[in-house]
């Protein structure tokens, strides 16, 4: 053979080799792309899990409020003790008159000891104070209670003179930076200041609410923001968010944080904060063109009304407070013909029954429905007031707890809108979310505000001659997101909100051209060093842990649902039925079939042994040996509500409540919510919480017990 | 299996497949209006257990997209169209998974000297120039996980076993 044929052979060989290389490359690429796609799907599913659980929690909040409404309407206190107890729950006493507030939350008598090494504030504040404060917080120091209270007093004074809607102009400071939710994540605020610069006469900022709750440094964030607010009043603007609300704080952590950091003066500080929150402006308008508010709008949002409302009336938007009707007389009401001063055996006056039955003799003709409902409403309100009078409750600012929507009534001698309408306006701008579909409907997921469509946005912008809306309120993976044909911008500044690596935070800058420029970031260094795979795995683990806990909390309901598919009692069901059953019980709207591989470890022929699957779930959650599974389930399912109830009962924020108080409330709550728990079960529950066996429940200890367990598993 | 039972069995199977397709689709349906961006179709198809090549994916997309759409960026796929096409894909077992041993052979084919690893340069060369080339982003992401940082080489057996464990958590979709 000449060299020709060996060249041929070589050529053929190398051709085959390159063909092989090509094929090999295709295979690897094909396989790898599939792997990445799978990761992406996992990432999105994880996100959905977190969001649905978060919103389910907000629904819990609403259930709790409905419970209190129910109490107000239906409950008949059977003893003076019960009466006291219920009344204590409803009157939180946070609504102080001006003079009382100054007296109660006075700071001048508080001495700052020489041993204090933190920053000292003096008023009026100077830029140096701000930098000192920032530095101190970076060193994990704490500001002395005296300065905190002083700062809050000054902040309140300042906020009071601000209008409901702040006006900003870009011609004074070239750019305005708008930040979204921070939720106590101080690292994100530091990062924003680092990247963008501190507030100054040439650097304007708008902070769009939700500064507190969930994160552990809500206090520091507020102190910093208030400080800058006082130093640069023209350049720093704060909007109220739905978390700047004491009812929400009870559940989501701010109350707890303050009480832990300020053991002696915590109560005062909290009171002041709640009185400052209600003075926060509701919205900010840039160049008359861009409206910034926390949640969104509704089809009835009226900027003129919003500008004129007395915003400080709404300490908590979750409870509607009624203005004092100065010309209304509250009379002792004769119920069912009983004499009002009938005494019971113990010599106490009989409590009037809270009843919605109208007195036939006095009710107007039911033919006139408006008249009738007006009368009915007055009746209920007056009965409530009467009840309060009996238990000697201060009537300085009577409160009404009926949460669910009521017919809007117009009283003859009132201004042209009612208290109810005002409240609705504020509720909507703090709690609403945009939706892709047209129209406007009640936001059942959150339980407050509404979902508003692109048509609502369009009309609103046109009506007030605006260019677009900036809002926050919803976590976005990239820190920001446009919707409604770029007319609504969501900006969210708390990075890694659900878990390290879950999302970026962002802020937006607007110049005179009002074209938005975005800056994104992630505050955790660790997030950067993780690969995409690791990041996703980590967040995913966290999400599934939360989901498994939720599943466990519904064990009984799940068993019933599974059994319905297992008529022959084989102990097994198909995976398809498993998925359907899960959704019917949990109602989280999750893609269960996609999530199945992470939730179910072993199957046989596509069938699942559901009892052992549920047992596995229970094993993970078991904390205290002596708490039985069913009890644990009840605790888990209602943990959020339990915690909130605790905090409401614990008015002096001491962390302790009595055995009896808790038992009573729990009994009421569980019967209202149709939670099956026998008397024994309740006693077991309470005893298991009372670690010290001294008749008091230290609920922080109780809650920590569950959290500790989870940490160990991590 | 008797005909009627077989049909019922098939219908049950089809119903289940359709449910799975719907779920996967909904995850990407951002506006909740039963459409997804055409660029996400690849992700959906792959997370349903398929391993299409880029060419196969384009062919699939061609079946789904209206001819009148010009710009790729604005193409949306409606669930109504996707469902039957994808159901058929799954029933026919098109684009079936690449098994671990096949993948191993592929790596071995690129490992000229049969030393058990591939250098970074070779890997980049093959995967960005041959086959259906990776974008720079894809290449970088793969390298960040796969490469042994000290030697800048890919020990493919280790890499495979690591990933297989990870994937085993997400075992392949059963039709």
CA distance B66 to chain A (A): 23
- Could you give the 3-state DSSP secondary structure of residue A117? coil
CA distance A435 to chain B (A): 8
Q: Which of A27, A34, A594 sits opposite B27 (nearest CB)?
A: A594
From chain B, the residues in CB contact with A37 under 8 A are 42-43, 45-47
Q: How far apart are CA B71 and CA B40, in angstroms?
A: 15
- Axis crossing angle, helix B3-28 with helix A3-74, rounded to the nearest 10: 80
Beta-carbon separation of B46 and A33 below 8 A: yes
Count of CB pairs separated by less than 8 Å, A with B: 130
Residue among A18, A19, A24, A575 with most chain B CBs within 10 A, to mutate: A24
Identify which of A204, A199, A197, A202 has the alpha carbon closest to the alpha carbon of residue A176: A204
- Could you give the 3-state DSSP secondary structure of residue A121? coil
Q: How far apart are CA A352 and CA A344, in angstroms?
A: 12
Q: What is the DSSP letter of A413?
A: T
In the numeric block, the tokens 């190398």 are attached to A14
Please state whether B135 falls in left (phi above 0), alpha (psi between -120 and 50) or beta.
Answer: beta
CA distance A41 to chain B (A): 7
pLDDT value, residue B71: 56
Q: What are A's interface residues with B at a Cβ cutoff of 8 A?
A: 20-38, 40-42, 44-45, 48, 435-437, 531-533, 537, 576, 579, 591-594, 597-598, 606
Q: Which two tokens stand for residue A427?
A: 């509720």
User: Confidence band (pLDDT; 50, 70, 90) for B3?
Assistant: low
From chain A, the residues in CB contact with B131 under 8 A are 22-29
Q: How far apart are CA B45 and CA A34, in angstroms?
A: 9
Q: How far apart are CA A321 and CA A420, in angstroms?
A: 9
Percent composition of chain B: helix, strand, coil (DSSP 3-state, to 5): 60, 5, 30
Cβ–Cβ under 8 Å, residues A190 and A518? no
B residues 31-90 near A, CB within 8 Å? 31-33, 42-47, 50-54
Q: Which two tokens stand for residue A147?
A: 């300065």
Q: What's the Rg (C-alpha) of chain B? A: 20
User: Confidence band (pLDDT; 50, 70, 90) for A209?
Assistant: very high
User: Confidence band (pLDDT; 50, 70, 90) for A343?
Assistant: very low
Dihedral sign, Cα of residue A208, residue A212, residue A213, residue A216 = positive
pLDDT value, residue A291: 97
Q: Name the residue in chain B with its Cα closest to that of A596.
A: B170
Cβ–Cβ under 8 Å, residues B154 and B146? yes
Q: Which tens digit of pLDDT belongs to each residue from A420-459? A: 788 889 989 998 999 888 899 887 767 678 899 999 999 9
Please state whether A166 falls in left (phi above 0), alpha (psi between -120 and 50) or beta.
Answer: beta
Average pLDDT score over chain B: 81
Identify which of A465, A171, A498, A503 has the alpha carbon closest to the alpha carbon of residue A490: A503
Identify which of A172, A119, A115, A173 has the alpha carbon closest to the alpha carbon of residue A142: A119
Q: How far apart are CA A186 and CA A132, in angstroms?
A: 16
**Arithmetic mean of pLDDT, A108-129:** 91
Give, for A291, the enclosing helix (H) or strand (E): strand A290-292
Q: Which two tokens stand for residue A705?
A: 């017990």
Q: pLDDT higher for A422 or B69? A: A422
ipTM of model over 0.85: yes
Q: Which two tokens stand for residue A649?
A: 């009962």
Beta-carbon separation of A44 and B103 below 8 A: no
Residue among A17, A20, A22, A28 with most chain B CBs within 10 A, to mutate: A28
User: Confidence band (pLDDT; 50, 70, 90) for A1?
Assistant: very low
From chain B, the residues in CB contact with A474 under 8 A are none
CA distance A689 to chain B (A): 38
Q: How far apart are CA B153 and CA B6, in angstroms?
A: 52
Question: What φ, ψ does residue A659 adopt, rounded to 5°?
Answer: -45, -50
- Axis crossing angle, helix A3-74 with helix A639-649, rounded to the nearest 10: 40
Cβ–Cβ under 8 Å, residues A432 and A450? yes
Q: What b-and-e string marks burial along A488-522, b requiring 16 or more CB atoms within 10 Å of the CB? A: bbbbbbbbbbbbbbbbbbbbbbbeeeeebeebebb
From chain A, the residues in CB contact with B29 under 8 A are none
User: Confidence band (pLDDT; 50, 70, 90) for A698?
Assistant: confident
Beta-carbon separation of A436 and B145 below 8 A: no
| Residues of A assigned a catalytic role | 243
Residue A712 has pLDDT above 70, yes or no: no
From chain A, the residues in CB contact with B46 under 8 A are 33-34, 37-38
From chain A, the residues in CB contact with B79 under 8 A are none
Average pLDDT score over chain A: 76
Question: What φ, ψ does residue A99 adopt, rounded to 5°?
Answer: -65, -40
Q: Which two tokens stand for residue A495?
A: 């990075």
Q: Which two tokens stand for residue A64?
A: 């709790």
Residue A77, CB half-sphere, CA atoms under 13 Å: how many? 22
Q: Which tens digit of pLDDT belongs to each residue from A288-332? A: 999 999 999 999 999 999 999 888 887 776 654 332 322 222 222
**Arithmetic mean of pLDDT, A483-491:** 95
Going by their DSSP bridges, the two strands A488-491 and A505-510 should be labelled as: unpaired
CA distance B12 to chain A (A): 10
Give, for A551, the enclosing helix (H) or strand (E): helix A532-553
pLDDT value, residue A361: 33
Q: How far apart are CA A83 and CA A71, in angstroms?
A: 12
């Amino acid at each position: 053979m000449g060299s020709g044929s060996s060249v041929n052979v070589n050529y053929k060989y190398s051709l085959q080799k390159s063909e092989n290389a090509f094929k090999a490359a295709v295979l690897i690429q094909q396989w790898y792309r599939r792997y990445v796609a799978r990761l992406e799907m996992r990432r999105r599913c994880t996100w959905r899990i977190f969001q649905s659980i978060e919103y389910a929690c907000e629904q819990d909040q609403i259930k709790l409020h409905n419970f209190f409404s129910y109490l107000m309407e239906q409950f008949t206190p059977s003893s003076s003790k019960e009466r006291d107890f219920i009344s204590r729950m409803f009157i939180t006493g946070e609504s102080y008159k001006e003079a009382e507030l100054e007296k109660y939350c006075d700071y001048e008598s508080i001495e700052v000891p020489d041993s204090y090494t933190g920053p000292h504030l003096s008023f009026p504040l100077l830029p140096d104070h701000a930098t000192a404060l920032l530095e101190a917080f970076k060193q994990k120091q704490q500001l002395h209670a005296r300065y905190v209270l002083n700062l809050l007093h000054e902040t309140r004074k300042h906020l009071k003179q601000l209008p409901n809607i702040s006006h900003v102009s870009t011609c004074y400071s070239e750019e305005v930076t708008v930040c979204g939710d921070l939720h106590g994540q101080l690292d994100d605020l530091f990062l924003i200041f680092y990247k963008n610069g501190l507030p100054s006469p040439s650097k304007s900022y708008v902070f769009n609410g939700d500064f507190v709750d969930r994160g552990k440094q809500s206090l520091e964030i507020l102190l910093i923001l208030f400080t800058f607010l006082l130093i640069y009043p023209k350049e720093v603007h704060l909007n109220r968010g739905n978390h700047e609300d004491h009812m929400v704080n009870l559940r989501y952590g701010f109350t707890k944080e303050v009480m832990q950091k300020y053991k002696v003066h915590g109560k005062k500080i909290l009171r002041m904060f709640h009185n400052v929150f209600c003075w926060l402006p509701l919205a900010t308008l840039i160049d008359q063109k861009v409206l910034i508010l926390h949640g969104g709008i509704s089809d009835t949002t009226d900027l003129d009304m919003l500008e004129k409302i007395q915003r400080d009336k709404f300490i908590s938007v979750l409870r509607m407070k009624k203005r004092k009707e100065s010309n209304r007389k509250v009379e002792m009401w004769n119920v069912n013909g009983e004499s009002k001063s009938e005494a019971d055996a113990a010599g106490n006056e009989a409590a009037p029954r809270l009843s919605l039955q109208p007195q036939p003799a006095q009710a107007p003709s039911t033919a006139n429905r408006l008249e009738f409902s007006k009368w009915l409403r007055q009746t209920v309100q007056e009965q409530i007031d009467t009840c309060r009078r009996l238990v000697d409750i201060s009537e300085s600012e009577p409160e009404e707890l009926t949460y669910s929507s009521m017919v809007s009534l117009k009283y003859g001698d009132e201004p042209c809108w009612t208290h109810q309408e005002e409240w609705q306006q504020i509720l909507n701008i703090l709690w609403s979310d945009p939706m892709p579909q047209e129209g406007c409907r009640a936001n059942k997921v959150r339980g407050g505000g509404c979902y508003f469509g692109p048509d609502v946005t369009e009309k609103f912008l046109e009506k007030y001659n605006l260019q677009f809306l900036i809002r926050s309120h919803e976590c976005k993976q990239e820190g920001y997101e446009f919707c409604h044909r770029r007319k609504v911008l969501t900006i969210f500044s708390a990075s890694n909100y659900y878990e390290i690596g879950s999302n970026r935070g962002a802020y937006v800058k607007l110049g005179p051209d009002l074209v938005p420029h975005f800056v994104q970031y992630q505050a955790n260094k660790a997030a950067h060093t993780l690969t995409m795979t690791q990041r996703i795995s980590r967040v995913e683990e966290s999400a599934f842990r939360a989901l498994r806990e939720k599943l466990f909390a519904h064990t009984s309901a799940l068993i019933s649902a599974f059994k319905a598919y297992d008529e022959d009692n084989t102990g097994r069901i198909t995976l398809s039925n498993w998925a359907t059953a899960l959704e019917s019980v949990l109602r989280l709207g999750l893609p269960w079939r996609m999530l199945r591989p992470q939730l179910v470890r072993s199957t046989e022929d596509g069938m699942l042994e559901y009892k052992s699957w549920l047992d596995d779930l229970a094993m993970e959650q078991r904390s205290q040996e002596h708490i039985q599974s069913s009890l644990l389930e009840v605790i888990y399912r209602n943990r959020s509500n339990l915690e909130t109830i605790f905090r409401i009962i614990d008015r002096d924020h001491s962390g302790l409540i009595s055995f009896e108080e808790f038992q009573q409330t729990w009994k009421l709550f569980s019967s209202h919510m149709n939670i099956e728990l026998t008397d024994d079960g309740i006693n077991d529950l309470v005893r298991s919480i009372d670690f010290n066996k001294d008749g008091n429940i230290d609920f922080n200890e109780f809650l920590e017990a569950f959290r500790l367990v989870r940490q160990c598993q991590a | 299996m008797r005909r009627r039972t077989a049909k019922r069995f098939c219908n049950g199977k089809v119903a289940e497949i359709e449910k799975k397709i719907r779920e996967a689709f909904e995850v990407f349906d951002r506006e909740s209006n039963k459409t997804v961006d055409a660029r996400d179709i690849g992700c959906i198809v792959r997370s349903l257990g398929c391993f299409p090549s880029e060419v196969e994916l384009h062919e699939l997309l061609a079946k789904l997209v209206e001819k009148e759409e010009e710009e790729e960026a604005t193409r949306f796929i409606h669930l109504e169209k996707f469902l039957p096409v994808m159901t058929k894909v799954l029933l026919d077992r098109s684009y079936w998974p690449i098994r671990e041993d096949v993948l191993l052979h592929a790596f071995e084919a690129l490992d000229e000297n049969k030393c058990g690893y591939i250098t970074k340069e070779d890997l980049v060369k093959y995967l960005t120039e041959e086959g259906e080339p990776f974008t720079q982003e894809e290449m970088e992401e793969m390298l960040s996980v796969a490469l042994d940082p000290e030697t800048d080489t890919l020990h493919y057996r280790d890499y495979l076993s690591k990933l297989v464990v990870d994937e085993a958590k997400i075992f392949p979709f059963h039709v």
